Amino acid sequence: MDFIDYYKTLGIDKKASPEQVKKAYRKMARKFHPDLSPDKKDAQLNFQKINEANKVLSDPESRKMYDQYGKDWQHAGDFEKAKSAQSSDRRSTRSAQNASDFFESMFGRNMGSGHQVMFSGEDYRASLEVSLVEASKTHVQTLNVNGKGIRITIPAGIEHGQTIKIKNHGSPGMNGGLNGDLFIMFSIPDHPDFKRLKNNLYVTKELDLYMAILGGELTVDTLSGKVKLKVKPETQNGEKVKLKGKGFPVYKNDGAFGDLYVTYQIKIPTGLSVREKELFKELSKLTKDKA
């Protein structure tokens, strides 16, 4: 298992103070944030490593274990139990320069034949950005995890902030132990037109004054294509209509969809000609006389 130097990841010395750790993390996070980098794939991987390094080094207990046991600091409790179970003349006095060397010296040679301790691999965590349109369809993407391409199927209806688990794609187990898992958290940026709330979508559609008054037919975009919508006469500004089943797909429920809500925003005409203004005045007079 490759050894990851968290201090090198954050660009700090092993004697760095907690404040220096925090400062270095903020600097590196800004530098490698996926939203600020043109190469998002590399940026996501670097950003993941930076977050992992900060998580370990910002906590005094985990940092202490990491300094002593390296990348396998999470197995420190198991190491200590194994050490205490050995006779005093078999205890190793060498420092653990990295997790693999420590494991070999402690358990490969000193535990005796036929007695080995298995350790599960660590879990990996990654973030993946998908657009609202991509999230509305089941599709396949390839992730680069520690230099290895992993193809994953993303079900339609995934939510922003949702995390899914890919079994056995974390770090390898040690001495026959199970591999860790890969946890992927999804990020879905806002769409320029559609707003999503759970499985429903909301969109604002501009309506000219004449169609609002007389009624007519309007073409509306949905995530699955264009649909024609009948506008009733005397439609009011801000009025809302529901297109059933034209919203977002329900996660892991084939054929189930939310609804699309269209809110009308009436556009007042500008640049009117003299004749048009006269007609509006006549219409205004007729309306007053009617009242």
Residues 6+ positions from 102 with CB-CB distance below 8 Å = 69, 70, 72, 79, 96
What tokens does 178 get? 């199970």
pLDDT digits 0-9 by tens, 233-266: 999 999 999 999 999 999 999 899 999 999 999 9
Assign 117 a pLDDT band (cuts: 50, 70, 90): low
The predicted model gives 156-162 an average pLDDT of: 93
Residue percentage of the chain with pLDDT more than 90: 37
pTM above 0.75, yes or no: no
Q: Give the angle subtended at the CA of 201 by the CAs of 217 and 38, to the nearest 5°.
A: 110
What was the pLDDT predicted at 107?
A: 46
Which residues on adjacent β-strands are paired with residue 203? 262
pLDDT digits 0-9 by tens, 218-234: 999 999 899 999 999 99
Look at 73-82, 138-147, 207-216 and tell me which has the smallest mean pLDDT: 73-82
What was the pLDDT predicted at 205?
A: 95
pLDDT digits 0-9 by tens, 166-183: 888 888 888 778 888 889
The predicted model gives 59-67 an average pLDDT of: 82
The predicted model gives 120-129 an average pLDDT of: 85
Characterize the bridge pairing of strands 260-267 and 200-208.
parallel
Burial class (CB in 10 A: 0-12, 13-18, 19+), 264: buried
What tokens does 264 get? 């009308």
When the pLDDT of each residue in the chain is averaged and rounded to a whole number, the result is 81
